[in-house]
Copies of this chain bind each other. A is one copy, B any other.
Amino acid sequence: MPPLSDSPSNPVALQRVPIDLGERSYAIDIGAGLLDDPRSWDGLPAAAAALIVTNTVVAPLYEARLRAALANRYKTVHTVTLPDGEDRKDWSTLNLIFDALLANGCDRKTVLFALGGGVVGDMAGFAAACYMRGVPFVQVPTTLLAQVDSSVGGKTAINHPLGKNMVGAFYQPQRVVCDLDVLNTLPLRELSAGLAEVIKYGPIADAAFLDWIETNIDALLARDPAALAHAVRRSCEIKAWVVGQDEREGGLRAILNFGHTFGHAIEAGMGYGQWLHGEAVGCGMVMALQLSQRLGLVDAAYVRRVTTLIERAGLPVTGPALGADRYLELMRVDKKAEGGEIRFVVIARPGEAAVRGAPDALVRDVLAACCR
């Protein structure tokens, strides 16, 4: 677990979390009012053109403001507005980005700006990884989930009908700019979904952070600026620390997928976009905790405690009744699976995760207990 950085006297003043990946190192900037501040974009690679990648929901709110802030840096700023939703995170939507780049004659110095949530960030990042075999990109996450998780660490992907995030790349952004002000326009359901990924960091890496979230969950739901600032910063610190040690998920990084094996099965099984990713992760964490308990790793009180917090965050703690066979089938195509064996991220003890297999019978018990 990384050391907790000093709390700033002004909680929403600019904080910079470095992510150390050698020549691919970059900074996560966190603060209020960053979107409109031209200084947020200083030092990015020089280019004649930029392309803002956003979606139909975010564009009316923030596209013009980002465009104005970038106008000093780039002679031309293009925009491509994608349809919204996890169910559109596919090749045909990705191709809209390539169409825009080529139709506008964008060369391989063009900088892409991902302005949106996790879906926009995943697609803009993957497009940047592939366009002319790689152009620079910047993450400008507009959801809590993207700020605390998906915009950091360089995982990009699109979905395949047979599995979530199955086609993608490890490709690091030049910078992540988290403007805390944009969280004010986030629907409550999306705020809760983001809190799932915030809560995640407690059980896997930082028991003290779990205590802090419990104390501050109401402030977070009320969008208290200082509380949100701390949650984003601490989440990014932990994620940067994990990714800095294991960029391409050879080992440690897999712990960030706590709740995701069950969660991806819920998302795919229900049809992408029915459950928000964060909702599926919230419920998936309850299942993974139940599994950890059945494996003798944590006690019932700890499972109850974290489950209560997930529920207080406004997240579902009961899974859809897809049937255990369907859950198992969906989980066998998880990227952590090896030779047909599903690998689960479990809680070895409060604040520490591990990756391991589990007997199907135990998984069926968990599903029976958690689904209806």
Binding site for B on A (CB under 8 A): 48, 91, 95, 98-99, 102-103, 105, 107-109, 129-134, 155, 157, 160, 162-163, 166-170, 248, 332-333, 335, 337-340
Q: Check A169–B133 contact: CB distance below 8 A.
A: yes
* 22 A-B interface contacts by CB (under 8 A): A48-B339, A91-B91, A98-B160, A98-B166, A102-B166, A103-B162, A105-B333, A107-B339, A107-B340, A109-B338, A129-B169, A130-B168, A131-B166, A131-B167, A133-B155, A133-B157, A133-B168, A133-B248, A133-B335, A134-B169, A134-B248, A169-B169
Q: Which 6 residue pairs spanning A and B have beta carbons closest together?
A: A102-B162, A48-B339, A132-B335, A130-B167, A133-B168, A107-B338
Give this chain's copy count: 2
Q: Which residues of B contact A107 (CB under 8 A)?
A: 335, 337-340
Distance (whole angstroms) from the CB of A264 to the closest CB of chain B: 13
Q: Which residue of B lies closest to A132 (CB)?
A: B335
Q: Which residues of B contact A170 (CB under 8 A)?
A: 133-134
The A contact surface, by secondary structure, is mixed
Q: Which residues of B contact A166 (CB under 8 A)?
A: 98, 102, 131-132
Distance (whole angstroms) from the CB of A93 to the closest CB of chain B: 12
- Contacts A107-B340, A133-B157 supplied; 20 other A-B pairs, CB < 8 Å: A48-B339, A98-B166, A98-B167, A102-B162, A102-B163, A102-B333, A103-B162, A105-B333, A105-B340, A107-B335, A107-B337, A109-B338, A130-B167, A130-B168, A131-B166, A131-B167, A133-B155, A133-B168, A133-B169, A134-B248
